[in-house]
Copies of this chain bind each other. A is one copy, B any other.
Amino acid sequence: MLGTGFIARFYAQSIVAQRSKDIINVVYSRTLASGQKFADDFNVPHVITDMIEAINHPDTETVIISLPNNLHEEAVLACAKAKKNVLCTKPLGRTAAEAKRMLDAVEKAGVFGGYLEDLCYTPKFLKSCASVKAGSLGRVLWAKSRETHPGPHSDWFWDKEQSGGGAILDLGCHCVEISRNFIGKDILPVEVMCWADTQVKPIDAEDHAIALVKYQNGAIGQFEVSWTFRGGLDLRDEVMGTEGTIWINNFLRTGLEMFTTGKGADYVAEKAESNTGWLFPVGDEVNDLGYNHMFTDMFSSYEEKKDPRETFYDGYVVNAVIDAAYKSAKTKLWEPVKLDVWRGKTGLTKESNLVEYDADNYLVKEEMTHYGAKKLILKNKASGKIEERILE
């Protein structure tokens, strides 16, 4: 485990959770004290303050990178060199170029590489994704993901040098990959339009952004990210298809609602912006945020010698989409997604929007009237005329 911060602790809570057979053998931290505290909390035998040494330690089988964004590449390259499996937190790189170098290094070294995109592993997301794949929504038209909260916990996020960007890179990486999963990972993201601004925080990076991502089959991805939202951690996804829709609320409305005047003893509510009034905790944060299912997929995939759901290649595609978003936010133009390597389908076109009704007409809509009859709206193929027809 490289790193001992907020995300490293979440990972550890998941890895050594419940009845897990997995263990953390080595932890690396720049400062011995942090490393030691982490080791105490999670029963880690080795605390090391030199990253390369930690990677090369004989008890290190798989390296988990939980470091600030600017340190990912160095760590990944070191793992590749040491021929160690590597799991890297999100975003993979600060740019697609960085991500590409990491991807290449891992693939050339032939080690297992996993992209730790936890929000593509939440139980609700996995269930939804399965439904979408099974066709319950028909053809996917639009997939949106929203992640907003009042800003990250650690100082390095706020420093563009270390983080590489603001809310887009920090949160948008989740959203882009969520949309890709719903729309299909083999569908090429073509171009991106992005609005971004620094509305509230005294920082250089953006604290609020909205973007649209056009896919080659005509589907549209959308993300809404912000570090200025007030009210907690807002994690919602929506998908629309020709035959249905899915609404996911991962965090703020999950069926657990508590009101407290705050007069009770020393209770402090988790992650909420206040600890009185109506509060909406989740039951099991580690599980509900996808960490358990993510590490199960990672370790089990490795054991079964197959790719995990989220690979370094996925991380690279996400970075490419985000690069286009940043460029678009500046140029105010739809910017193409630049991918040196594309491993999905090619040459797709938008599906036809013509629904045959009979030899002469297309079907526009079919509905029940107030009085129980069936009403059709048809379009004549030849004339293009719209016609209403009531069937008894």
A-to-B contact residues, CB < 8 Å: 15, 18-22, 122-128, 131, 134-138, 141-142, 148, 150-151, 153-156, 158-159, 193, 195, 197-204, 207-208, 210, 212, 214, 218, 220, 222, 226, 228-232, 240-250, 253-269, 273-274, 276-284, 287-288, 292-293, 295-296, 299-300, 332-334, 350, 353-355, 362-365, 367-368, 372, 375, 377, 379, 384-388
A390 to chain B, nearest CB (A): 11
Instruction: Name which residue of chain B comes closest to A260, CB basis.
Output: B244
Q: Which of chain B's residues has its CB closest to A278's CB?
A: B278
Determine how close the nearest CB of chain B comes to the CB of A16; give it in whole angstroms. 10
13 additional contacts, CB 8 Å, given A18-B292, A134-B266, A202-B354? A19-B22, A20-B20, A135-B264, A202-B379, A210-B212, A230-B243, A232-B259, A241-B264, A243-B264, A247-B256, A250-B255, A274-B277, A278-B279
Question: 12 A–B contact pairs at CB < 8 A?
Answer: A15-B19, A18-B292, A123-B283, A123-B288, A126-B284, A134-B265, A135-B265, A142-B226, A193-B332, A231-B245, A231-B259, A254-B255
Q: Contact: A241 with B230, CB < 8 Å? A: yes
Partner of A21, one of B19, B283, B367: B19
List of B residues within 8 angstroms of A267 by Cβ? 131, 134-136
Complex-state Cα separation, A123 to B141, whole angstroms: 32
CB-based contact A353/B128 at 8 Å: no
- B127 and A284 contacting across the interface, CB-CB below 8 Å: yes
Q: How close is A333's CB to chain B, nearest CB, in angstroms?
A: 7
Are A379 and B203 interface neighbours, CB within 8 A?
yes
Contacts of A332 in B (CB 8 A): 193, 333-334
Q: Could you tell me if A266 and B135 are in contact, using CB atoms closer than 8 angstroms?
A: yes
Known: A18-B293, A231-B278. A364 touches B264 (CB 8 A): no
